[in-house]
Amino acid sequence: MKILMIIPAYKPTYVYGGPIEAVANLAESLVAIGHEVTVYTTTANGKKELDVEIGKEYNVENVKVTYFRRIIGGHNHLSPSLLRRLSRVVNRYDVIHIHSWWNLVTMPAAWICRSKKIMPFISPRGTLTEYTFNHHRTLPKHIVHSLAGRKLLEQSILLFTSTREKEEALKFIRPRESFVLPNIHQFPPSQKRLYREQPYLKIIYLGRIDPAKNLEFLLRMVTHHLKIPYQLIIAGDGDPKYKQQLMESCMGLDQIQWIGHIEGMEKYERLADSDIAILPSHTENYGNVVLESLSQGTPVLISPNVGLKDFVTSFSLGWVAETKEEKWAEILEGVWKDKTLLYDIQLRALERMKKEFDPRENAMEYIKVYSKHIKKQALPRPLTV
């Protein structure tokens, strides 16, 4: 099967967080089970551009990746050269899979597909929620959605990464077909030590520094309500001005450490060395860091807005709680007083992750959905009299 993926940014641009890694894992897993995957993306790398040769096809972990110049930065990513190439070659592929929405790469790409009578797959990646509609450029989003966005989405096949994401999106659209398919992960072996004596509860937040992550709540909770010795590690990057505001709000507190963006084995080592990982997001279609943490045996405390909340609660691998400062402080204080909770979850998490997240099996779920679509496209049209 020949698969073309369209995404505004691709590895190594991890500045955009989990979606980049999720799409790369999907592409690489599909190649590993025998399919040909091509990625069209831009040179987007935050406020900078990737240092790559424009228009050249690179072999990135056996995935064919071509980077196109973008002429508008920010979150728009307009790349006329990418769209021109797509228009010429779109009919050469069995599957077109578009990742993300609300930008000038993916929305025009969907229009090109429909103009060529091709029904694309679209993974919104958390961009079709009440939060995203009502925060940041609200009026333009509603206008674009009314004029063109809704129709493009409803003429596509939507792939969601969690039931929560699907439920949120269906408030705004009624797609022809939709499926819930998990993100694909490649986890290293657990680095965690079973027993650890330290004079404080070690808490970690790992992700983008972005208003959607509700970090203001997190900082208020630990600085004004948490009554136990703690260390909070905040790992990630985002808008420098916003990050500076957050850092100034807790200036002088040595127990809060800002370590910037981390990746690779350092990320897993930090998670393994922590007692609990937290994610208080306003909106989170999936929450890769939840599984990354559990893969190391580290329990999680998350908001009900995180897509993986059902997985966490179903197997009792942590806590899901409304973002009320007193409630989160109470949970953390309970964990500090009874460390057996951590050890129990650690052992169960490692076993559960091995059972649930096999990259090959999860990639096959995508192939089943792709194949179903291809067969439908191949059916002859009924004759009209």
Domains and CATH numbers, the chain: 2-183+358-378 (3.40.50.2000), 201-356 (3.40.50.2000)
**pLDDT for position 359:** 86
pTM above 0.75, yes or no: no
pLDDT confidence of residue 367: 96
With CA atoms as reference, report the closest residue to 42 among 50, 34, 30.
Answer: 50
In 57-200, the DSSP E strands lie at 57-60, 63-68, 95-99, 121-123, 157-160, 177-180
Pick from 277, 130, 275, 254: nearest CA to 207: 277
Distance in angstroms (rounded) separating the CA atoms of residues 279 and 287: 8
Flag residues of the chain having pLDDT under 70: 134, 136-137, 141-142, 193-196, 375-385
3-state SS class at 230: strand
* Ramachandran angles phi, psi of 47, nearest 5°: -85, -5
Cis peptide before 12 (omega within 30 of 0): yes
How many CA atoms does the CB half-sphere of 67 hold within 13 Å?
A: 18
- Distance, in Å, from the CA atom of 203 to the CA atom of 299, rounded to the nearest integer, reads 10
Tell me the two tokens of residue 143. Answer: 């206008």
pLDDT of 179: 95
CB 86 within 8 A of CB 6: yes
**Rounded Cα gap, residues 145 and 107, in angstroms:** 10
* pLDDT at residue 37 in the model: 98
pLDDT tens digits along 167-189: 888 888 888 899 999 888 888 88
Tokens representing 226? Answer: 């948490």
Extract the tokens encoding 358.
């096999």
Task: Name residue 133's amino acid.
Answer: F
Helix, coil or strand: residue 225: coil
- 98-130 pLDDT, tens digit per residue, is 999 888 999 999 999 999 999 999 999 877 877
Contact 217, 326 (CB under 8 A): no
